[in-house]
Amino acid sequence: MKYKVLVVEPIHEEGLRVLREKGYEVVVATDIARDELLEMIGKFEVLIVRGRTKVDKEVIDAGRRLRLICRAGVGLDNIDVDYARRKGVEVINTPEATSIAVAELVFGLLLCLYRRIYDAVRGMKEGVWLKRKLSGFELYGKTMGIIGLGRIGSEVAKRAKAFGMHVIGYRRHRLLETAKRLGIEPAKSIDYLLERSDIVSLHVPLTKETYHMIGERELRIMKPTAVLINTSRGAVVDTKALLRALREGWISGAALDVLEHEPPKESWEWELVRLPNVVVTPHIGAQTIEAQRRVSLELAHKIISLLEG
Ligand code: NAD
């Protein structure tokens, strides 16, 4: 059978080529409006999205022939997975493919913050030699607390150890076994980790339980010298509380790849982005050529094996 695949967000060409070679009809319609999606989806067996497209009940109901919803990437928070499965539509993602890219970005952001690389580069480009003003910190000997020790958190832990850091980790299940495997200290609780860490890095999915997991109470537990790194999902952190924490010195800095609204829309969010002790990137965690190629190939092979049996 010649399956029809609708791609509504940009994905690497390689996987699409594999699908076309298999005889599938692949329609790429990136940046289509929601009403266009609702109109088109009824003709397709497969829908490929990334994190921007909301695949809710209305979209799933409109997809009369839909068999597979594919998330090119990890987080499934934009897809009503339960409803899809109840309607017999399988939901798949590529959880392994982007872990290294995100873990590497954590250290890019952290070094940027710790060594003030952004200020240094900007100074140079503006013709200003800021050498004496740009004293930073070393990662060596610091304590890194990792909340969520899954695929990405584990890769972050390995790299933190290579920098000579002491690593404390927390996850909900199988904590002791994971900590032992990684050679890190298991945290008795999130508070235990927050109290001791110089750097706190978040690697949990966004769920009802993790929504605003880091709020005023947690930020006040952290050391005043500590920095927070968030490359998971914006809403894991109460952004308004973070803004106050950074303005009032409850913690010393933050590095963020994700925000509650992407791009930011409220004036207080832009205020956060512009603070001098904040380094922020526009959700580029998975944006490496290698990761995107891996995502698209892995997805293509999963689609073929699920549809062809
Ligand atoms: P994963 O499922 O492998 O790991 C998640 C970890 O969080 C697990 O250890 C789990 O036990 C833990 N966890 C879940 N709920 C928890 C809770 N309430 N309290 C404590 N721990 C909890 O996921 P992953 O592949 O490591 O990805 C983590 C998240 O990173 C994704 O869900 C996604 O939101 C985000 N992500 C961001 C980017 C980016 O571009 N910045 C790219 C990929 C993934």
Q: What is the CATH number of the domain that holds 10?
A: 3.40.50.720
Most ligand 1 atoms within 8 A of CB, residue of 99, 152, 170 to mutate? 152
| Distance between Cα 148 and ligand 1 center (Å) | 6
For residues 297 and 228, state if they share a domain.
no
| Distance between Cα 55 and ligand 1 center (Å) | 20
Amino acid 286: pLDDT:
94
Amino acid 80: pLDDT:
97
For residues 202 and 267, state if they share a domain.
yes
276 token code pair:
């001098």
Amino acid 74: pLDDT:
87
Most ligand 1 atoms within 8 A of CB, residue of 203, 213, 229, 288 to mutate? 203
Ligand 1 atom, smallest distance to 73 CA:
43
The tally of CA atoms less than 13 A away on the side-chain side of residue 302 is 22
Burial of 303 (0-12, 13-18, 19+ CB in 10 A): buried
**At residue 305, does pLDDT exceed 90?**
yes
Burial of 121 (0-12, 13-18, 19+ CB in 10 A): exposed
Burial of 145 (0-12, 13-18, 19+ CB in 10 A): buried
For residues 129 and 32, state if they share a domain.
no
For residues 77 and 164, state if they share a domain.
no
For residues 125 and 171, state if they share a domain.
yes
For residues 113 and 156, state if they share a domain.
yes
Each residue's pLDDT tens digit, 179-210: 999 999 999 999 999 999 999 999 999 999 99
Q: Provide, rounded to the nearest whole percent, the portion of the chain with pLDDT above 70.
A: 100
Ligand 1 atom, smallest distance to 99 CA:
25
Each residue's pLDDT tens digit, 110-128: 999 999 999 999 999 999 9
| Distance between Cα 68 and ligand 1 center (Å) | 23
Q: Classify the phi-psi angles of 67: left when phi > 0, otherwise alpha if psi is within -120 to 50, otherwise beta.
A: alpha
For residues 226 and 252, state if they share a domain.
yes
Type of residue at 63: G
For residues 169 and 63, state if they share a domain.
no
For residues 183 and 37, state if they share a domain.
no
Average pLDDT over residues 32-55: 96
Average pLDDT over residues 30-51: 96
Amino acid 31: pLDDT:
83
- Total-model pTM: 0.93
For residues 40 and 85, state if they share a domain.
yes
232 token code pair:
């998971």
- Kindly indicate the confidence band of residue 75, based on its pLDDT and cuts at 50, 70 and 90: confident
**At residue 1, does pLDDT exceed 80?**
no
- Is residue 39 within a helix (H) or strand (E), and if so which, with residue range? helix 34-40
For residues 145 and 189, state if they share a domain.
yes
Give yes or no for a contact between 239 and 213, defined as CB atoms under 8 angstroms apart. Answer: no
Q: Tell me the catalytic residues.
A: 233, 262, 283
Overall domain count for the chain: 2
**Domain region containing 201:** 99-280
For residues 81 and 230, state if they share a domain.
no
Each residue's pLDDT tens digit, 161-174: 999 999 999 999 99
